[in-house]
Structure 1
């Protein structure tokens, strides 16, 4: 599954240059050029890290980080044309993982993004009630017992745990879990995988409490007490 980098930057040439540079490194990229577009991009999910400009048409990158941190620990590297330490302090206090001032070295920026991704991968253990997913080891457990999951089921479970309580549309799930590998699948494939995953994580798969169906739209992961 390709690692996806989000680039939220109002300078079109820089935005396209960063997309091309990360693409040459083997990453998938998505981009936005305004505050509103950036907000929609972050809400859509599916990214593994974000490069975010401090100043955007229609709003501030700081405000985007503030909103993002209400629901996600997605790694963020913030860019700014200013050199004020106050900006850096403000960004770090809001939860920015790294900070670079323009102009910057592309090689250094790429190295810092790789470092953020590696740190997240090494420390990524997702927990929801008695369900845990250790992304670095590719292992999921329920009440301490290992779950025998296929690679697709593991990725799906991890994606649910990364977005607890949030409606994930069928299209989002298909694009995130399957399409990034270039495999065409339909909604029936998703439904079958959901059914198999429920058998393994639900107490009563016939009356699921964790993976809730939102009819006509998609699914939602419901947090459960241990």
Structure 2
């Protein structure tokens, strides 16, 4: 079984046998005490670069997103999304089952690009995304509104 979380051993035992054993057991790195804090941070970043490859295909409720190619399929047919719709869909997919407030979506999707948008812009993009991914956009089953709280994707 492939692990999803990188592992760094941080231990007082830094003899060769302990290091080799730790790495053979599946550690991505091994750091002996005492350690320098900046080195620890650097090693963490290094491990995350090596192991931080995102899942290439995400599937949920009849949708299949190939993140490597940027292709979205709905029941075997390609769905054409704008760049912003695609970012919004990925954010929902990566937060499946969670209620996402309108403010959080605005901050995560639009603030990251430095664009200013009003609240209605989000409503328009949610509507467009639903039209492209839902069987019946008027009665969404995938991207649901949670009244007074925000939106929830999947379940």
Q: CA separation of 1:208/1:113 partners in 2, compared to 1, >3 Å: closer, same or farther?
A: same
TM-score with structure 2 length normalisation? 0.75
- Which of the numbers 169, 186, 202 marks the counterpart of 2:134? 202
Superposition RMSD in Å: 2.8
Select the structure with the greater relative contact order (CA < 8 A; seq sep ≥ 6).
2
* Displacement of 1:78: 4.9
Aligned-partner Cα distance in 1 for 2:6–2:101: 24
Mapped contact 1:133–1:141 kept (Cα < 8 A): yes
* Displacement of 1:79: 6.8
Which residues of 2 match residues 41-190 of structure 1 at below 5 A? 76=6, 78=8, 80=10, 82-83=11-12, 98-101=28-31, 103=35, 105=39, 107-117=42-52, 119-120=53-54, 123-190=55-122
Is the aligned partner of 1:219 residue 2:151? yes
Query: How many pairs does the alignment contain?
Result: 139
Mapped contact 1:126–1:158 kept (Cα < 8 A): no
Mapped contact 2:142–2:154 kept (Cα < 8 A): yes
Q: CA separation of 1:156/1:76 partners in 2, compared to 1, >3 Å: closer, same or farther?
A: farther
Q: CA separation of 1:83/1:143 partners in 2, compared to 1, >3 Å: closer, same or farther?
A: farther
Q: Which has the larger radius of gyration?
A: 2
